[in-house]
Structure 1
Amino acid sequence: MDTKSGSMHVVMVPWLAFGHILPFTELAKRIAQQGHRVTLLSTPRNTRRLIRIPPDLAGLVRVVDVALPRVDGLPEDAEASIDLTSVDLRPYLFRAWDAAFAGNLSDLLQEPEPWRPDWVLIDYAAHWAPAAAARHGYANRKAEQLTAVPDYVPFPTIVRYRGYEAWAKVKLDLMVDDSGVSEGYRFAKCIEESQLVGVRSSMEFEPEWLQLVAELYKKPVIPAGLFPPPPTQDLTGHEETLRWLEMQAPGSVVYAAFGSEAKLTSAQLHTIALGLEASGLPGLVCRGWVPQVTFLEHASVGGFLTHAGWNSITEGLANGVRLVLLPMVFEQGINARHMVEKKIGIEVARDGDDGSFTAEDIAAALRRVMVEEEGEELRVKVKELTKVFGNDEVNDQCVRDFLRCLKEHSRRDKD
Structure 2
Amino acid sequence: MEAAADAAGVLEVVVFPWLAFGHMLSFLELSKRLAARGHAVAFVSTPRNLARLPPVPPHLSPRLRFVALPLPRVDGLADGAESTADVPPEKIELVKKAMDGLAAPLAAFLADAVAAGRRPDWIVHDFCHHWVPPIAGGHGVPCAAFMTVYAAFVAFLGPRWANVEHPRAATEDFAIAPRWIPFPSTIACRRRSEAESIAALFRANASGVSDMERAWQLLQCCRLAIYRSCDEVEPGMFALLTDLFQQPVIPAGVLLPPVIAADGDRPEVLRWLDDQPPKSVVYVALGSEAPLTAGILHELALGLELAGVRFLWALRRPSGMFNTANDAVTDELLPAGFEERTRGRGLVRTGWVPQVAALAHDATGAFLTHCGWGSTIESFACGHPLVMLPFVLDQPLVARAMAERGIGVEVARDEGDGSFDRDGVAEAVRRVMVDEEGKALASNAMKLREVLTDQGRQETYIDDLVEHLRRYRGCC
Q: Decide: shared fold, TM above 0.5.
A: yes
Corresponding residue to 2:142 among 139, 143, 151: 139
* 1:285 equivalent in structure 2: 348
The 5 A counterparts of 1:160-179 are 160-162=188-190, 163-171=192-200, 173-179=201-207
Corresponding letter in the other structure for 2:456: E
* 1:247 equivalent in structure 2: 275
Of 62-71 and 130-139, more deviation after overlay is shown by 130-139
Corresponding letter in the other structure for 2:133: P
How far is the alpha carbon of 1:238 from its aligned partner? 5.3
* 2:122 equivalent in structure 1: 119
Closer/same/farther in 2, CA of residues 386 and 349 from structure 1, 3 Å limit: same
Corresponding residue to 1:294 among 340, 357, 374: 357
Report the aligned-residue RMSD: 2.0
How far is the alpha carbon of 1:152 from its aligned partner? 2.5
* 1:326 equivalent in structure 2: 389
- Looking at structure 2, the residues matched to 97 and 353 of structure 1 have their Cα atoms a distance apart, in angstroms, of 34
* 1:107 equivalent in structure 2: 108
How far is the alpha carbon of 1:231 from its aligned partner? 2.6
Per-residue CA deviations over 1:51-78 (Å, capped at 9, x if unaligned) read 4222211111110011111111111110
How far is the alpha carbon of 1:234 from its aligned partner? 4.6
Corresponding letter in the other structure for 2:92: R
- Looking at structure 1, the residues matched to 413 and 264 of structure 2 have their Cα atoms a distance apart, in angstroms, of 38
Closer/same/farther in 2, CA of residues 293 and 218 from structure 1, 3 Å limit: same
Contact 1:323–1:345 (CA under 8 A) maintained in structure 2: yes
How far is the alpha carbon of 1:260 from its aligned partner? 1.1
Per-residue CA deviations over 1:87-144 (Å, capped at 9, x if unaligned) read 22112211111112x1233233331366320011110010101111222222211113
- Looking at structure 2, the residues matched to 243 and 92 of structure 1 have their Cα atoms a distance apart, in angstroms, of 39
* 2:13 equivalent in structure 1: 10
The 5 A counterparts of 1:153-232 are 153-162=181-190, 163-171=192-200, 173-232=201-260
- Looking at structure 2, the residues matched to 57 and 306 of structure 1 have their Cα atoms a distance apart, in angstroms, of 32
How far is the alpha carbon of 1:24 from its aligned partner? 0.3
Corresponding letter in the other structure for 2:193: Y
How far is the alpha carbon of 1:266 from its aligned partner? 0.5
Q: Does 1:383 align with 2:446?
A: yes
Per-residue CA deviations over 1:363-384 (Å, capped at 9, x if unaligned) read 1111111122221111111111
Per-residue CA deviations over 1:210-244 (Å, capped at 9, x if unaligned) read 22111111111100121122234557775443333
* 2:437 equivalent in structure 1: 374
Corresponding residue to 1:316 among 379, 388, 400: 379
Contact 1:11–1:39 (CA under 8 A) maintained in structure 2: yes
Of 131-140 and 266-275, more deviation after overlay is shown by 131-140
- Looking at structure 2, the residues matched to 133 and 143 of structure 1 have their Cα atoms a distance apart, in angstroms, of 16
* 1:149 equivalent in structure 2: 177
Corresponding residue to 2:302 among 274, 290, 298: 274
Corresponding letter in the other structure for 1:106: A
Give structure 1 regions of 4+ aligned residues with deviation exceeding 6 angstroms: none
- Looking at structure 2, the residues matched to 263 and 236 of structure 1 have their Cα atoms a distance apart, in angstroms, of 36
Per-residue CA deviations over 1:250-275 (Å, capped at 9, x if unaligned) read 21210000111124100000010011
- Looking at structure 1, the residues matched to 249 and 135 of structure 2 have their Cα atoms a distance apart, in angstroms, of 22
* 2:89 equivalent in structure 1: 87
Of 150-159 and 130-139, more deviation after overlay is shown by 150-159
- Looking at structure 2, the residues matched to 331 and 267 of structure 1 have their Cα atoms a distance apart, in angstroms, of 23
- Looking at structure 1, the residues matched to 451 and 63 of structure 2 have their Cα atoms a distance apart, in angstroms, of 27
SS in structure 2 at match of 1:62: strand
Contact 2:119–2:141 (CA under 8 A) maintained in structure 1: no
Q: Does 1:48 align with 2:28?
A: no
Q: Does 1:63 align with 2:88?
A: no
- Looking at structure 2, the residues matched to 146 and 159 of structure 1 have their Cα atoms a distance apart, in angstroms, of 9
How far is the alpha carbon of 1:207 from its aligned partner? 2.1
* 1:342 equivalent in structure 2: 405
Contact 2:230–2:253 (CA under 8 A) maintained in structure 1: yes
Give the unaligned 5+ runs of structure 1: none
Contact 2:18–2:128 (CA under 8 A) maintained in structure 1: yes
Contact 1:121–1:142 (CA under 8 A) maintained in structure 2: yes
- Looking at structure 1, the residues matched to 141 and 6 of structure 2 have their Cα atoms a distance apart, in angstroms, of 14
Contact 2:69–2:106 (CA under 8 A) maintained in structure 1: no
Contact 1:160–1:337 (CA under 8 A) maintained in structure 2: no
Closer/same/farther in 2, CA of residues 177 and 152 from structure 1, 3 Å limit: closer
Corresponding letter in the other structure for 1:261: E
- Looking at structure 1, the residues matched to 264 and 189 of structure 2 have their Cα atoms a distance apart, in angstroms, of 41
SS in structure 1 at match of 2:390: coil
- Looking at structure 2, the residues matched to 381 and 135 of structure 1 have their Cα atoms a distance apart, in angstroms, of 49
Q: Does 1:26 align with 2:55?
A: no
Of 305-314 and 258-267, more deviation after overlay is shown by 258-267
* 1:256 equivalent in structure 2: 284
Corresponding letter in the other structure for 1:167: E
Per-residue CA deviations over 1:8-58 (Å, capped at 9, x if unaligned) read 011111000010001101110110000100011011111111142222111
How far is the alpha carbon of 1:206 from its aligned partner? 1.4
- Looking at structure 2, the residues matched to 114 and 298 of structure 1 have their Cα atoms a distance apart, in angstroms, of 47
- Looking at structure 2, the residues matched to 11 and 74 of structure 1 have their Cα atoms a distance apart, in angstroms, of 27
- Normalising to structure 2: TM-score of the pair? 0.82
Contact 1:125–1:183 (CA under 8 A) maintained in structure 2: yes
* 2:465 equivalent in structure 1: 402
Q: How many residues align?
A: 409
SS in structure 1 at match of 2:51: helix
SS in structure 1 at match of 2:31: helix
Give the unaligned 5+ runs of structure 2: 148-172, 312-346
- Looking at structure 1, the residues matched to 127 and 237 of structure 2 have their Cα atoms a distance apart, in angstroms, of 19
